[in-house]
Amino acid sequence: MNKIVIPICGMHCASCEFLIEEQLKKISGVESVVVNQKAAKAEIKFSGTQPSEEVIAKAVQEAGYTVGQKEKLPWFSRSVADYKDLVLAGGILLVIYLIAKWFGLFELNVADQGSGIAVALLVGLVAGISTCMALVGGLVLGLSARHAELHPEVTTSQKFRPHLYFNLGRIVGFAFFGGLIGYAGQAFSPSVNTLGFLTMVIGGVMIFLGLKLIEIFPALKDKNITLPSGVARLLGLNKDTKEYSHKSALIMGALTFFLPCGFTQAMQLFAVSTGSFWQGMIIMSLFAIGTAPGLLGIGSLTAAFKGRKARLFFMTAGLAVIAFGWLNLANGSNLIGGNSTPVTSVVSNLEAQEVRMTQGSNGYSPNSFTVEKGRPVKWIINSTSPYSCASSIVMKKYGISQSLKAGENIIMFTPTETGEIPFSCSMGMYRGKFIVVEAKETSSVVSSASAASTDISLNSSCSASGSSSGGCGSSGGCGGGSVSNQVDQEGAVENTSVEQIIKTVYTYGKDIAPNTFTVKKGQPVRFEVDVQDNGSGCMSTIMIPGLWDTAELLKKGQTIVMEFTPQKTGDYEITCGMGVPRGLIKVID
């Protein structure tokens, strides 16, 4: 059997190989054809007379390619117009970002905390247009824009058709897998390393697609990420024309069920809680249906633009996909970083360090805590947005991976070494950390305001309640003032015809002095704090729960004024924003 090798230009994926092979095999006398996209050549084996160059060239052209040597493309474009268009595309993307931020699209939340199945549809609608769809939406945008760019000759409806198949596969796949986990009672919960690896792989694919779309790097034009030919043949990807396979679109849509998206994981937990195949199927399919408008919207954009507008759109889409990809790479590396410690049961007579955190749709507050080594930590998380990305929380160091339910969630662990322990959502997008320090000697502080004692760690630091930069534990301690050295001191009350005036002075060394006052019920009170030093840690704020519930910041050189009228007799503690006692106001008849 005779053999000839011909060079071919224009191939960019495994599908190109299949298309050329099919056309060449139609030539009379050709026994077998092997096309290599990377080598840009076809090996033809024939019996009898060798096919003419014209016949071979025509067959290759009918497949959509040309016979000839592959041109070596430069790494960087030499066209000034390309760079001008890139700057314009960057400006367009910036405007789109600012508009989205203005309308709050990055902070969308599902207010309904009910358990009805219809909530799955609502969550899907929110997920389909929110930042957490950077994972699925960014991938779809990159693939669809690249496909539309490669095939400008097809009609708008033909460009849009793959997105219909992708979303159909997504809905059917989510329904099937949702039914399975509903019946089995076990959600898909990959390890933290697996989550990080998947996120980084997807991020890398996005960046690669984005770099091809912006057309500044011509050398990338013919480079592609494709399945091996054997695997592609097994999946039947050689049966469709051009690059895109409807079958592959269906499969890819279904497999997004396993991507580490917080919205998806929240719905998976919801499906598991039903214990029913049919309810699990309905929940996950409704969620997928809810995401469809957002994903189809991306598809319609990639199919609608033509000519000069298409070039600008592809460049803008490329920059967006690169941004999404970079975000996913950073998030994935955050999940993978660090070594994990096996989770074991810890029996300890030591008092737990209690820390409190609120999880919302846009992350965690506070998100930094200082705790002591060797003492159990009782991590209480109040989830106000259980159907959001941030509701799936992971801490690789101690093997913690948990989906938060509405209300309080408690996680226990014991830090075994000093240093920082990072935690994040399952996508690595929203982050926080525990700072572990050596155990310190603590002082038992008995304030005249309270009969109970509170352990205060003098060298720990934490933020005021509600701050996103720090937190503290009720027995783990706070820093920022020598509360343990404070001496109870009764303060004078100046009575005027209008109000009762009480005054104190704040310094870092002595906290507030005087710190105890007696006022009368039903008469207005003016409480003045002369702040002579900046506060620190959670002791940087002051409030009077029950009389003045707003935490006021202690800022050097300012005078804080609190005006209130006590309506009930009793003792009211003067505290920091986290509730640590620092003084007392007694209200009498």
Same domain, yes or no: 178 and 326: yes
What pLDDT does residue 479 have?
43
Residue 563 — very low, low, confident or very high, per pLDDT cuts 50/70/90?
A: very high
Same domain, yes or no: 491 and 535: yes
What pLDDT does residue 106 have?
59
- Write out pLDDT tens, residues 149-171: 566 556 667 767 777 888 898 89
Q: How far apart are CA 265 and CA 130, in angstroms?
A: 15
Same domain, yes or no: 230 and 324: yes
Is there a domain that residue 457 lies in? no
Total structural domains within the chain = 4
Tokens of 347: 């029996």
What pLDDT does residue 136 have?
66
Last residue of a domain, one of 43, 67, 91: 67
What pLDDT does residue 494 have?
85
What pLDDT does residue 500 have?
92
Q: Of the ranges 65-69, 243-247, 535-539, which is most confident?
A: 65-69
Amino acid at 295: L
Same domain, yes or no: 188 and 232: yes
Same domain, yes or no: 101 and 7: no
Q: In this predicted model, which residue has the larger pLDDT, 39 or 423?
A: 423
Which range is least confidently modeled, 295-304, 316-325, 343-352?
A: 343-352
The answer on pLDDT for 236 being more than 50 is no
Which range is least confidently modeled, 89-98, 312-321, 333-342?
A: 333-342
Measured CA to CA in angstroms, residue 175 lies from 95, 214, 258, 268, 269 at distances of 37, 36, 13, 11, 14
Last residue of a domain, one of 45, 67, 89: 67
Q: Of the ranges 191-195, 387-391, 483-487, which is most confident?
A: 387-391
Same domain, yes or no: 371 and 261: no
Instruction: Spell out the alpha helix ranges (H) of 129-184.
Output: 136-150, 156-184
What pLDDT does residue 241 have?
38
Tokens of 271: 């499906």
Tell me what the mean pLDDT of segment 457-466 comes to: 33
Parent domain of 367: 353-439
Same domain, yes or no: 315 and 435: no
Residue 505 — very low, low, confident or very high, per pLDDT cuts 50/70/90?
A: very high
- Write out pLDDT tens, residues 418-460: 999 999 887 777 889 999 998 764 332 222 222 222 332 323 3
Task: Give the largest CA-CA distance in the chain.
Answer: 120
Same domain, yes or no: 276 and 322: yes
Q: Mean pLDDT for the chain?
A: 74
Q: In this predicted model, which residue has the larger pLDDT, 579 or 365?
A: 365
The answer on pLDDT for 262 being more than 70 is no
CATH of the domain at 22: 3.30.70.100
User: Strand (E) positions, 338-418?
Assistant: 353-360, 363-365, 368-372, 377-383, 392-395, 400-403, 407-413
Is there a domain that residue 271 lies in? yes
Is there a domain that residue 346 lies in? no
Is there a domain that residue 455 lies in? no
Is there a domain that residue 561 lies in? yes
Same domain, yes or no: 272 and 136: yes
Best CA proximity match to 476, nearest among 376, 545, 397: 376
Same domain, yes or no: 583 and 503: yes
CATH of the domain at 363: 2.60.40.420
Same domain, yes or no: 51 and 88: no
Same domain, yes or no: 274 and 386: no
Residue 97 — very low, low, confident or very high, per pLDDT cuts 50/70/90?
A: confident
What pLDDT does residue 129 have?
61
- Write out pLDDT tens, residues 352-371: 888 899 988 778 888 888 88
Last residue of a domain, one of 407, 439, 471: 439
Is there a domain that residue 342 lies in? no
